[in-house]
Amino acid sequence: MANKSLFQSLRGVLAPKAEVVNEAGGLAYSRSDKQALAQYAATGCLGDTFYASADEQLDAVLKLCNTAEPEFIARTAIYAREHGHMKDMPALLLAVLSVRSPGLLAEAFDRVIDSPKMLRNFVQIMRSGVVGRKSLGTLPKRLIVQWLEARSDAQLFTGSVGNDPSLADVLRMVHPKPATPAREALYGYLIGRRHNAEVLPDLVKQYEKFKRNTNPGKVAVPDVPFQLLTALPLTKKDWRQIARTASWQMTRMNLNTFLRHEVFQDAEMTTLIANRLRNPRLVEKARVFPYQLMTAYANADTRVPTAVRESLQDAMELALKNVPRVAGKAFICPDVSGSMHSPVTGHRQGATTAVRCIDVAALVAAAVLRQNPEAEVLPFNDQTVNVRLNPRDSVMTNAKKLSSLPPSGTNCSAPLRTLNQRRAMGDLVVFVSDNESWTDTPAYGRFGGGRTATMNEWSAFKTRNPRARMVCIDIQPSGTVQAKERVDIVNVGGFSDQVFEVLANVASGQFAGDHWVRVIEAVRL
């Protein structure tokens, strides 16, 4: 009789053998080049992560770009900026296009470079030489000049904050020809050259008048970026005016600053700021990451008025509007292992975020639970962690509870094993992880191949639930996955609300093999 341990009956869908080892030393599956490029573009911030350095990320992206079609590079850059709200990676992909396909660079430029900050990122990357050139070149210079010409004087002045390079540095590189006396004066003002102060744009005149004023509180505060004002002597009245005209993002980031300068002692200002933060149009325009709202809420001083703090929760509900309602039973599996306690955007000197991967995973789980009260949350490290969550609690409350769970090793198969032990029935399983599973890999598996434990457990789950599907949300840049992409498994990366759009498509039955790549390929050029 044949050996039953070798030739046992297959259960569920046949799981492929893993062909690589991940950064943590566990069995894994490699992504296709397109999947990998999309993953790096949606999660890579060119900072040192728990498992990969910034240099390793950069090398991986450039290598992938060498094999990818220029059209896919362009679409990925647009998708990562417009949907993923990323900064460095879309600019890097544009720089690659300047070498690979200048025509596509021209088509994608304005959609990716949508702010002075993005323009400075692009110029910095181009001049670094990482894509094979250190000069901007004729076409990039022309695109930058056209971009400058399409902005108003006020937009350029308010966008002049920032260095390395500064907007003034960019002007010196491309030598734009001013079309009006005001623009000529503005260019001279920004680069520190002689100019006709009489014809400067009105906003610049207001700012210079405010700077020269020796009688604090007597001259109106100009509507300029916060950073241009903080070094100046400001009165309580000035601070209230700054708060009155502040952008949505600036308001979110400076609640404690406003508190220190007694802005909230004015009841009218408190109401104005609370209404601004919960304004649906402004929340959408700000393209805020949901985790940024969670951070603002957590960091807000307890003396910040309750109305303002609660408005952040209202803004969170708006930012999570893309979280779908799922037909059937859903299981949400956030990774709470040790590596998830690293900064979500990586370590970068002087710019390391306080937000951890676990905070993002907890937020996604809490958001899905809020929209789907019948869903079950199964946190995991090297095993499934028991936790009780109330679906009626706020997203902030449940996210905080999940993110405070103790760390340990990483076993992505643990929740599925728990469900299989319970003979659970379900329709959707959602993982939020860095995908670096290793404690479920036997020692011989690292050397002798085999299937990942996640795929083995998923096959068993599919035996009971043949219509079930799984979405694996990966929030770190990497080239491997624990579950092989196929018609019932979707791997998507990122930490903006774009992951909920993909999740909604899958939950509604609008999915197929390589779903995320198909979404990117659908971007119109």
Q: Do 331 and 480 share a domain, yes or no?
A: yes
In-domain check, residue 56:
yes
Q: In this predicted model, what pLDDT tens digit does every residue of 420-440 receive, in sequence order?
A: 999 999 999 999 999 999 988
Query: Which tokens go with 209?
Result: 């008048």
Query: Which tokens go with 137?
Result: 């070149």
Give the pLDDT confidence score for residue 420 in this predicted structure.
97
Return the exposure string of 113-133: e unless at least 16 CB atoms fall within 10 Å of the residue's CB, then b. beebebbbbbbbbbbeebbee
SS3 365: helix
Give the pLDDT confidence score for residue 2 in this predicted structure.
47
Task: Please give the Cα distance from 222 to 210 (Å, whole number).
Answer: 7
Q: Do 40 and 133 share a domain, yes or no?
A: yes
Q: In this predicted model, what pLDDT tens digit does every residue of 157-172 receive, in sequence order?
A: 999 988 889 999 999 9
Q: Do 326 and 302 share a domain, yes or no?
A: no
Q: Do 295 and 365 share a domain, yes or no?
A: no
Q: Binning pLDDT at 50, 70 and 90, where does residue 10 land?
A: very low
Place of tokens 């207001």: 206
Q: Residue 256 burial (CB < 10 Å; 0-12/13-18/19+)?
A: middle
In-domain check, residue 374:
yes
In-domain check, residue 25:
no
Q: Do 379 and 312 share a domain, yes or no?
A: no
Q: Do 287 and 399 share a domain, yes or no?
A: no
Q: Which is higher by pLDDT, 250 or 347?
A: 250
Q: What are phi and psi of 330, to 5 degrees?
A: -120, 145
Under 8 Å CB-to-CB from 107, ≥6 apart: which residues?
74, 525
Q: What are phi and psi of 471, to 5 degrees?
A: -115, 125
Domain boundary among 318, 333, 349: 318
Q: Do 394 and 510 share a domain, yes or no?
A: yes
Q: Do 261 and 241 share a domain, yes or no?
A: yes
In-domain check, residue 21:
no
In-domain check, residue 47:
yes
- pTM higher than 0.75, yes or no? yes
Residue by residue, DSSP assigns 455-492 as: HHHHHHHHHH-TT-EEEEEE-S--SEESS--BTTEEEE
Alpha helices in 83-149 (DSSP H): 88-100, 102-112, 116-128, 138-149
For residue 401, what are the domain limits? Answer: 322-521
- How many other CB atoms sit within 10 Å of the CB of residue 191? 15
In-domain check, residue 217:
no
Give the pLDDT confidence score for residue 7 in this predicted structure.
40
- For the ranges 378-387, 391-400, 445-454, the lowest mean pLDDT is seen at 445-454
In-domain check, residue 436:
yes
Q: In this predicted model, what pLDDT tens digit does every residue of 97-131 receive, in sequence order?
A: 999 999 999 999 999 999 999 999 999 999 999 99
Q: Do 281 and 358 share a domain, yes or no?
A: no
Report the number of distinct structural domains present in the chain: 3
